[in-house]
Amino acid sequence: MATRNVHVAGVGEVNITKRKNNRHLRLTITPTAKVRISIPYWAPYGVGIAFARSRADWIRQRLDKHKPPILNPGALIGKTHRLYFRREPGRKVDRTQVKNSIVAITSSLPFEDEAVQALAYSACERALKLEAEAILPRRVVIMAEQHGFFFRKIRIRKLTSRWGSCSNQRDISLSYFLIQLPWELIDYVILHELVHTRQLNHGTDFWRAFERAMPNARVLRQRIKDYQPALNPA
């Protein structure tokens, strides 16, 4: 798989990926408003660029629907953090702080300003990563012991297209956005990846093993479709 990020006029940054099993062009907009185009492996990147240009109006319409929500004062970030804004007229350098379950943004501009919102989003993601690193690895260990699974190591990362993954070396990666979900869905994702330490595909054997460990797995599978791996303040 080969990939390249290019700037397309009227669209912005586009990720173009060559895939060996692709026969056609495929355009997707991720939950975090990233434009991705997959093309056949033999095709030049120019094919993907031309395709993006031809669908520019459609892409812009979809991107407008993916605009991130405004982060408001007092928003709950993850399980424990609260977001606060402090305005100081005349302040030359903005400040962000993530400490003691508080995400604090200090700026001379109002909190609705685009630059202040960008600072807030970055700081809130730091808070989510801190929470996820403090909570999720231990939860994986507990569930692995309860159900008799073995994994090699765990990583907490910024995953925006999936909640987690498991390599064939039994290394588990979890998105730090996962910490925002209800606990039963967090456990669903963790157990899903633990089952992959034995069954790397999603075949019959995988679902049979998953439902033995979590009988309501298919119900939770439908529920988690209502969420996306992105910042979702409460």
In this predicted model, which residue has the larger pLDDT, 147 or 63?
147
Which residue has 């073995």 as its token pair? 150
Within 10 A of 220 (CB to CB), how many other CB atoms are there?
18
Domains and CATH numbers, the chain: 2-65 (no CATH), 76-128 (no CATH), 134-226 (3.30.2010.10)
Mean pLDDT on 116-142: 97
Under 8 Å between Cβ of 87 and 111: yes
> What is the tens place of the pLDDT at every residue in 147-175?
999 999 999 999 988 999 999 999 999 99
Cα–Cα distance between 132 and 138 in angstroms, integer? 10
pLDDT at 161: 86
Helices (H) and strands (E) counted in the chain, each on its own, are 6, 11
Residues in Cβ contact with 26 at an 8 Å cutoff, skipping those fewer than 6 apart: 37, 38, 39
> What is the tens place of the pLDDT at every residue in 74-122?
999 999 999 999 999 999 999 999 999 999 999 999 999 989 999 999 9
Within 10 A of 13 (CB to CB), how many other CB atoms are there?
10
Whether the full predicted model's pTM is greater than 0.85, yes or no, is no
pLDDT at 9: 86
Look at residue 32 and tell me whether its pLDDT is greater than 80: no
Look at residue 64 and tell me whether its pLDDT is greater than 70: yes
> What is the tens place of the pLDDT at every residue in 170-224?
999 999 999 999 999 999 999 999 999 999 999 999 999 999 999 999 999 999 9
Mean pLDDT on 49-63: 91
Mean pLDDT on 140-145: 98
Cα–Cα distance between 219 and 56 in angstroms, integer? 38
H/E run at residue 30 = none
Distances (CA, A) of 202 to 20, 24, 43: 21, 24, 30
pLDDT at 31: 64
Buried b / exposed e across 142-159, counting CB within 10 Å, b at 16+? ebbeeeebebeebebeeb
